[in-house]
C-alpha cells in the first residue's frame, strides 16, 4: 500500500508507509465504546469475524491501529467463513491481511446445500448466521482466541431494536459485550457507537478491498432489515437527533455483561 490522504467527515486520516490510520470520527466513538463496555483486556487474543464487507474491514483497520498504539496489549487475527455463494470471492482479503501483518484463517462450506437438508422453517439468513457463528467459535477454540470481535454498528442495533419491538413485542437488540453460552468466549462489538455511513465513507476513501455480498437469498426480495433501514433513514431526515436518542434508549439492552479486568478505551 502506498501513501494517501483520506478526508472523512472533515477529519484527515493518512496512510504512510503502508500503515492505515482510521479517522478520529471513528476512533473516538470506538474508544468510548471500548471503555464503556470494558471490551478489551490485557493479554486478550481477539479473532475478528471478517466477511469482507465495509463494516468488518473498517473494524479490522481500527483494531490493527489500536494494537499498535493502545496501552493494553492484545493479539489480533481474522477469520473469513465462505458459504460458497455463487459470485462471492473473498480471495483479495488474503493479500490485504498479509500486508497488515494479521494472521488469517479461512473456512469454506456449502451452506446452500446444507440448508436444503437441514433447514426447518427458518430463513436462510438465520441459518447462515448460526452456521458462521458456530464456525467462528470453533476457530477461536482451536487457535486459542478468547474474544470474538463482530462488526455490527449503531444502525444495526437500531434496526434490531425496532424489528424486535414491532414483530415480537420485546425490547431487545444486540449486546455490546457478552459471554457465549459455553462461557469460554467473549463477544465484543467495538463499532456500536459508529454509524454505517462512517464505515462506508472510510472503506471507499481508503480503498479497502470490500467484497460485495451478492447472496441470492438476501437480494431476491427486500428483507425486513432493509425495510427498517429505510424507515430509520426517513425518520432521520425529520429528526437529526434520532440515533442519539435511540442510543440512550437502548442502553439497558446493550449493557456490559462482563465487568472487571484491565480495559482499553479513552
Residues 179-225: pLDDT tens digits? 999 999 999 999 999 999 999 999 999 999 999 765 655 544 457 78
For 254-264, how does the pLDDT look when each residue is reduced to its tens digit (9 = 90+)? 986 554 444 55
Domain 23-253, CATH homologous superfamily name and number: HUPs (3.40.50.620)
Asked if 45 and 144 touch (Cβ cutoff 8 Å), the reply is: yes
For 70-92, how does the pLDDT look when each residue is reduced to its tens digit (9 = 90+)? 999 999 999 999 888 777 888 99
E strand or H helix that includes residue 186: strand 186-188
Q: What percent of the chain has a predicted confidence (pLDDT) above 90?
A: 67
Asked if 116 and 232 touch (Cβ cutoff 8 Å), the reply is: no
pLDDT of residue 75: 98
pLDDT of residue 89: 87
DSSP 8-class letter at 211: P
| Mean pLDDT for all residues in the chain | 86
pLDDT of residue 15: 55
Q: Is a pLDDT exceeding 90 seen at residue 31?
A: yes
**pTM (two decimals):** 0.86
**CA–CA gap between residue 172 and residue 165 (Å, rounded):** 7
The CA-based angle 165-196-100, given to 5 degrees, is 130
Nearest to 47 by CA among 183, 148, 181, 178: 148
Q: Is a pLDDT exceeding 60 seen at residue 245?
A: yes
Q: Is a pLDDT exceeding 50 seen at residue 8?
A: no
Amino acid at each position: 500500500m502506498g501513501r494517501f490522504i483520506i478526508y472523512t467527515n472533515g477529519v484527515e486520516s493518512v496512510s504512510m508507509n503502508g500503515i492505515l490510520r482510521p479517522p478520529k470520527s471513528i476512533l473516538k466513538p470506538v474508544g468510548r465504546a471500548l471503555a464503556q463496555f470494558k471490551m478489551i483486556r490485557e493479554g486478550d487474543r481477539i479473532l475478528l469475524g471478517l466477511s469482507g464487507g465495509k463494516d468488518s474491514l473498517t473494524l479490522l483497520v481500527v483494531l490493527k491501529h489500536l494494537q499498535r498504539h493502545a496501552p493494553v496489549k492484545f493479539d489480533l487475527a481474522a477469520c473469513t467463513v465462505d458459504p460458497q455463494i455463487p459470485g462471492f470471492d473473498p480471495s483479495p482479503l488474503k493479500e490485504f491481511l498479509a500486508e497488515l501483518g494479521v494472521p488469517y484463517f479461512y473456512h469454506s462450506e456449502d451452506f446452500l446445500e446444507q440448508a436444503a437438508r437441514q433447514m426447518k422453517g427458518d430463513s436462510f439468513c438465520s441459518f447462515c448466521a448460526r452456521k458462521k457463528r458456530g464456525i467462528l467459535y470453533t476457530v477461536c477454540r482451536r487457535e486459542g482466541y478468547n474474544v470474538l470481535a463482530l462488526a455490527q454498528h449503531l444502525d444495526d442495533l437500531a434496526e434490531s431494536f425496532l424489528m424486535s419491538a414491532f414483530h415480537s413485542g420485546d425490547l431487545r437488540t444486540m449486546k455490546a459485550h457478552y459471554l457465549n453460552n459455553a462461557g469460554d468466549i467473549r463477544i465484543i462489538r467495538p463499532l456500536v457507537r459508529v454509524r454505517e455511513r462512517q464505515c462506508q465513507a472510510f472503506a471507499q476513501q481508503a480503498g479497502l478491498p470490500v467484497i460485495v455480498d451478492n447472496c441470492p437469498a438476501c437480494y431476491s426480495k427486500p428483507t425486513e432489515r432493509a425495510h427498517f433501514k429505510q424507515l430509520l433513514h426517513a425518520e432521520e431526515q425529520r429528526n437529526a437527533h434520532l440515533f442519539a436518542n435511540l442510543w440512550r434508549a437502548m442502553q439497558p439492552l446493550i449493557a456490559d455483561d462482563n465487568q472487571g479486568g484491565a480495559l482499553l478505551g479513552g
